[in-house]
Structure 1
Amino acid sequence: MTGHEILPHALSESVVLRRATREDMPAIVALLADDQLGRERDSITEPEDMEPYLRAFEAIDEDPAHLLVVVVLGSSVIGTMQLSFLPGLARRGALRAQIEAVRVASSARNSGVGNQMITWAIGEARRRNCALVQLTTDKRRTDAHRFYSRLGFVASHEGMKLAL
């Protein structure tokens, strides 16, 4: 854990946001797969299917510029997201925060957990002196677009990707 982190963080009396551990990975992958787009690309059918996720977790966990968090209710992981801090030359050498892979368990959607997660991420970006927070969301996720707009995010750029 780096000195930058102030975790765990209570989102409410019973919900805690904390740094993810290797033991959380099955729950995190289940959250990724419990999604309209993730069902095909993130489902686990064989034990060895978990290996690429574990390798990615190790890389994220070892790099202080990246933070993978989970939201826990009791002993259940009900949310996850990755927050990355990217140095850049644009905007006078500004640091920016990139939010990735935001997922909330279907049983916890519309409960305010997602709002609390993003609010925490914005606060952490401010604490680390980022000039902006950015994220991408698939064009097919219209509910997510409305959610991020309500939180003040603006669709200011057209993103492009090239699958390799």
Structure 2
Amino acid sequence: MDLPAELETAGRTVTLRRATAGDVPAVVRLMADDQLGAARDGVAGPDDVQPYLDAFAAIDADPAHVLLVAAHSDDVVGTLQLSFLPGLARRGALRAQIEAVRVRADHRSGGLGSAMVTWALAESRRRGCALVQLTSDKRRGAAHRFYARLGFTASHEGFKLYL
């Protein structure tokens, strides 16, 4: 994995790197800063951050997963999670899964999201993945257009069961 990586977007240099535990509060703020995340993510008090830190520790300990942050002047301005999933389908193909792509409001529409996903696609190819998949809530029309511009197709219908 070639990290850190320098990404040039809208006249700014942004560093893409592995997240650290110290980045977790900023990542949570990014996840909570949209119409859907505001209802399910966020930290109201010091005890609220612990489940996120526990999840980060599990992600960070597993080489099949990486949580990335994009930093500009030491500020976290973007994030995504990239996971690698072995499977028997498609002749034992390895898949990559992209999750939780977020860009801070003042850095949107400058190419940062595209640069982060493009990096994730290159890393997925480097690791020998046969495909890259992601899910996006049906209410995220702008995100759907973003992923379509990057070459993704809405090829499947997804299902979830909340436990």
Output the TM-score relative to the length of structure 1: 0.96
Instruction: Give CA deviations for 1:40-74 in whole Å, capped at 9, x if unaligned.
Output: 11021111000000000000000000000000111
Which residue is 2:104 aligned to?
105
Deviations 1:104-163 (A, max 9, x none): 001111010000001000000000000000000000000000000000000000000000
- 1-structure distance, mates of 2:101, 2:120: 11
Partner of 2:16: 17
Aligned to 2:3: 7
Q: Which amino acid aligns with 1:10?
A: E
Q: What TM-score comes out, normalization by structure 2 length? A: 0.97
Q: Distance in 2 between matches of 1:18 and 1:78?
A: 12
Partner in structure 2 of residue 129 of structure 1: 128
SS at match of 2:115: helix
Aligned to 2:87: 88
- Runs in 1 of length 4+ with deviation above 6 angstroms? none
Q: Any stretches of 5+ residues in structure 2 without a counterpart?
A: none
Which residue of the partner structure matches residue 144 of structure 1? 143
- Distance, in Å, in 1 between the alignment partners of 2:76 and 2:126 is 25
SS at match of 1:162: coil
The residue that corresponds to 1:32 in the other structure is: 31
Q: How far apart, CA to CA, are the structure 2 residues paired with 1:146 and 1:156?
A: 14
SS at match of 1:7: coil
Count of matched residue positions in the alignment of Structure 1 and Structure 2 = 160
